[in-house]
């Protein structure tokens, strides 16, 4: 009997070792030297591997080129193709000197076919010169918060040593670009005027993929940025030097969709349960706040409202400032985000006052006194 019990205990222990502990989600299998999975809406990092290591990035550079072209407001302008543009080495959409092409078409050629000639033509038209455009690229990178990035050309070729970024920075860039409706449309287009998109995750491999950009050079190896949406959750994946990048991205997306959910942690609208004098029933949040959470984390979110002290002059609502405090969102004891709390002037009372004023004025005009 003792031998039987001992045997059963050994079997039980082996089962515990072999079977995964379901309270902890296994991290995705990733071949890339650097990788990141980011929630597009909140910016939370769901998975990372050497995400801030500086590396060559190849043609995913063109995400920056595309968004600058879109934001220039010149998409409908005609671009005359220069000799310099068509001499660019590498992938091409086969432009010829003297061709007249819409800037919008060049951006499609840039994103779908990774045309280096298109990249240079865009740079010359939008920036005045390639050097001028590179200045704009680095200016925008600084604005977005890409602290470990420097652009030296609009195409990602290895002809400059000072052209680099990180998986994290490229995720920040993609998060920024995906806020633009036109960028989302172009990035997610499978084919355009005979050009098939090189992003196989979008065209055939992953039904939830919504866009992205491929890249390859001898020094950078395979680089890839993709986006994916399932139900209400939007994710960004980046890999640098990823020999098996298609599967890397699928594995990361599946990990994100399975273990996290984009959750509204603070809804927009009126804030209830605030009894502070003059502010009660008049304060609100302008925009909802979302954050990517596991199921276990959802009950651990708390909100703290930090409001200005009421003043006597606030008896006249016109003296109350527009922003009267802030809402601080915590996960456990970690601060996630701080958003302003706004005061809403009692417009209904104001409208009623204007209506009464109009009625009184009208009655006086026709000869009726206030006392009848």
For 59-105, the three-class secondary structure string (H helix, E strand, C coil) is HHHHHHHHHHHHHCCCCCCEEECCHHHHCCCCCCCCCCCCCEEEHHH
Residues 6+ apart with CB under 8 A from 130: 84, 120, 123, 124, 153, 154
Q: How far apart are CA 15 and CA 21, in angstroms?
A: 10
- Whether 310 is catalytic: no
User: Counting every residue, how long is the chain?
Assistant: 372
Angle of the 103-113 helix axis to the 62-71 helix axis, nearest 10: 160
Strand pairing report for 334-343 and 283-285: antiparallel
One of 114, 165, 187, 292 is an active-site residue; which one? 114
- Whether 82 is catalytic: no
User: Among 16, 117, 124, which residue's Cα sits nearest to residue 69?
Assistant: 124
Q: How far apart are CA 182 and CA 188, in angstroms?
A: 10
Q: How far apart are CA 137 and CA 151, in angstroms?
A: 7
**Paired tokens of 93:** 């959409």
Angle of the 130-144 helix axis to the 62-71 helix axis, nearest 10: 90
Measured from the Cβ of residue 238, the count of other Cβ atoms closer than 10 Å reads 35
One of 59, 165, 187, 292 is an active-site residue; which one? 59
- Whether 92 is catalytic: no
**Which residues are registered as beta bridge partners of 283?**
343
**Paired tokens of 17:** 């070792």
Question: Annotated catalytic sites, by residue?
Answer: 59, 62, 114
């Amino acid at each position: 009997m003792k031998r039987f019990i001992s045997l059963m205990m050994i079997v039980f222990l082996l089962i515990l070792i072999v079977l995964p502990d379901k309270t902890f989600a296994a991290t995705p299998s990733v071949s890339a030297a650097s990788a990141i999975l980011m929630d597009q809406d909140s910016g939370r990092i769901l998975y990372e591997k050497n995400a801030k290591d500086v590396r060559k990035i190849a043609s995913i550079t063109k995400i920056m080129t595309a968004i600058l072209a879109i934001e220039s407001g010149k998409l409908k302008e005609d671009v005359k193709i220069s000799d310099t543009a068509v001499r660019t080495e590498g992938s091409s959409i086969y432009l010829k000197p003297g061709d007249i092409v819409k800037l919008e078409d060049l951006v499609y050629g840039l994103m779908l076919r990774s045309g280096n000639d298109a990249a240079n033509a865009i740079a010359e038209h939008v920036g005045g010169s390639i050097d001028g455009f590179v200045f704009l690229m680095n200016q925008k990178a600084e604005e977005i918060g890409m602290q470990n990035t420097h652009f030296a050309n609009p195409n990602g070729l290895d002809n400059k040593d000072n052209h680099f970024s990180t998986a994290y920075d490229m995720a920040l860039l993609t998060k920024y670009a995906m806020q633009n409706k036109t960028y989302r449309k172009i990035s997610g287009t499978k084919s355009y005027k005979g050009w098939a998109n090189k992003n196989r995750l979008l065209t055939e491999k992953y039904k939830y993929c919504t866009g992205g950009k491929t890249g390859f050079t001898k020094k950078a190896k395979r680089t890839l940025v993709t986006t994916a949406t399932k139900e209400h959750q939007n994710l960004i994946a980046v890999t640098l030097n990823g020999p098996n990048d298609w599967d890397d991205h699928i594995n990361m997306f599946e990990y994100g969709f399975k273990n996290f959910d984009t959750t509204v942690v603070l809804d927009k609208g009126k804030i209830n349960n605030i009894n502070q004098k003059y502010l009660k029933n008049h304060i609100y949040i302008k925009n909802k706040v979302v954050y990517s959470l596991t199921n276990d984390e959802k009950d651990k979110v708390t909100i703290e409202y930090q409001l200005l002290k009421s003043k006597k002059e606030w008896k006249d609502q016109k003296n109350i400032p527009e922003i009267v405090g802030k809402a601080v969102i915590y996960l456990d004891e970690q601060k996630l985000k701080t958003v302003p709390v706004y005061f809403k002037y009692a417009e209904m009372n104001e409208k009623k006052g204007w209506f009464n004023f109009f009625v009184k004025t009208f009655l006086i005009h026709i000869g009726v006194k206030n006392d009848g």
